[in-house]
């Protein structure tokens, strides 16, 4: 595509697509490494404390012979690294072990709840994104203006509202008083998708309120700092109107930090989900997690923690890939 004569363009010999692919591969490898560290930390932590699961499972019926038999059955007699790798391989092939308290494969136990939780997280994420990005861009002028303090104060106030408090109020107002949904009675996701959606929507809004406030604030300060950059002057000097400057230049430049921030928000959404599921009686991973912690059902806890952490890490990866599409400077970043 080039005549290839001028030496200045040596970088162009490497096609853009290749750079893109190389940095993507790098990112995926880093992701795998992070996942392995995360899973190892979790596994090791629970190995340290859980004591002997065989003993726990047998409870009062524990005799040395029975414990030994069960240990062999569960593969607990192998050394720690072997057990970890076995567990990790099992994890990726869908075999997550057996729950102590439900005596049921963890995978079967988790799968339907995972669906619900993912729906809740995504719904909340969509709400946050759809509201905060436009609002952040549009409201930047207000903050600079005379009534900026109202925005800032309102923002701080909304950031202070815990999701479970809104949850209590909403399930009281919309659930008990207005009967828009029945708190604690979550419709089956496949049998009644519309009802489930409505139920999830209320929960998602609760999670979204403080995070939306935070994202608006972040977006706004990004737009403000972008507006001070030189390229904005250039854009104005070319006769762009405000809209042209904002939408044509500033928006795209503000998106990179916004996408990164939204990926971090995923972690907070997951955290909020754990609590809000409790408030609304949504049978998701969060409720199972809390119950399993109280029951000391470690295989379940382990699996849920790792799944949620993976979900967060995946969101980070997605953010990086999206940012590479937006910002060409990140594509070459493979080396430095």
User: Rounded to the nearest whole angstrom, what is the least distance from the CB of residue 132 to another protein in the complex?
Assistant: 17
Span from 67-75, 81-89, 199-207, 262-270 in contact with another protein (CB under 8 A): 262-270
Nearest to 56 by CA among 70, 45, 43, 44: 70
Residue by residue, DSSP assigns 194-240 as HHHHHHHHHHHHHHHHHHHHHHHHHHHHHHHHHHTSHHHHHHHHTT-
Which residue lies nearer to another protein by CB, 118 or 236? 236
With a CB cutoff of 8 Å and minimum separation 6, the contacts of 219 are 132, 133, 135, 136, 137, 254, 258
User: Rounded to the nearest whole angstrom, what is the least distance from the CB of residue 7 to another protein in the complex?
Assistant: 10
State the DSSP code for 171. I
Contact call for residue 118 and another protein (CB under 8 A): no
Span from 18-26, 106-114, 190-198, 285-293 in contact with another protein (CB under 8 A): 285-293
Q: In the structure encoding, which two tokens stand for residue 327, read together?
A: 């910002």
**Residue owning tokens 């972040």:** 218
What is the distance, to the nearest Å, from the Cα of residue 205 to the centroid of all Cα atoms in its chain? 16
Contact call for residue 222 and another protein (CB under 8 A): no
Binding another protein by CB under 8 A: which of 15, 188, 233, 247?
233
Contact call for residue 164 and another protein (CB under 8 A): yes
Q: Give the x-and-dash track for 83-102 against another protein (CB under 8 A).
A: --------------------
Binding another protein by CB under 8 A: which of 119, 305, 319, 324?
305
Binding another protein by CB under 8 A: which of 176, 192, 193, 225?
176
Contact call for residue 322 and another protein (CB under 8 A): no
Nearest to 311 by CA among 125, 104, 106, 69: 125
């Amino acid at each position: 595509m080039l005549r290839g004569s001028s030496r200045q363009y040596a970088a162009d010999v490497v096609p853009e697509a290749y750079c893109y692919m190389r940095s993507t591969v790098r990112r995926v490898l880093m992701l795998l490494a992070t996942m392995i560290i995360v899973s190892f930390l979790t596994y090791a932590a629970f190995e340290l404390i859980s004591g002997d699961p065989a003993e726990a499972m047998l409870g009062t019926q524990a005799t040395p012979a029975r414990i030994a038999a069960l240990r062999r059955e569960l593969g607990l007699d192998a050394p720690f690294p072997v057990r970890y790798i076995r567990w990790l391989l099992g994890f990726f092939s869908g075999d997550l072990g057996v729950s102590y308290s439900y005596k049921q494969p963890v995978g079967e136990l988790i799968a339907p709840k995972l669906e619900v939780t993912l729906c809740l997280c995504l719904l909340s994420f969509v709400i946050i994104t759809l509201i905060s990005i436009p609002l952040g861009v549009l409201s930047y002028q207000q903050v600079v203006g005379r009534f900026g303090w109202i925005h800032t104060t309102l923002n701080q106030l909304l950031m202070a509202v815990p999701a479970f408090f809104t949850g209590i109020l909403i399930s009281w107002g919309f659930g008990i008083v207005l009967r828009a949904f029945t708190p604690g009675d979550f419709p089956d996701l496949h049998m009644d998708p519309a009802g489930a959606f409505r139920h999830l929507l209320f929960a998602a809004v609760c999670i979204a309120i403080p995070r939306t406030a935070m994202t608006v604030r972040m977006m706004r300060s990004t737009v403000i700092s972008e507006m001070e950059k030189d390229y904005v002057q250039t854009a104005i000097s070319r006769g762009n109107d405000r809209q042209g400057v904002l939408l044509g230049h500033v928006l795209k430049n503000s998106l990179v930090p916004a996408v990164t921030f939204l990926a971090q928000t995923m972690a907070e959404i997951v955290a909020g989900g754990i609590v809000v599921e409790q408030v609304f009686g949504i049978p998701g991973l969060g409720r199972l997690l809390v119950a399993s912690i109280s029951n000391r059902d470690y295989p379940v806890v382990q699996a849920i923690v790792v799944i949620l952490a993976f979900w967060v890490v995946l969101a980070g990866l997605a953010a990086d890939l999206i940012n590479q599409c937006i910002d060409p400077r990140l594509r070459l970043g493979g080396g430095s």
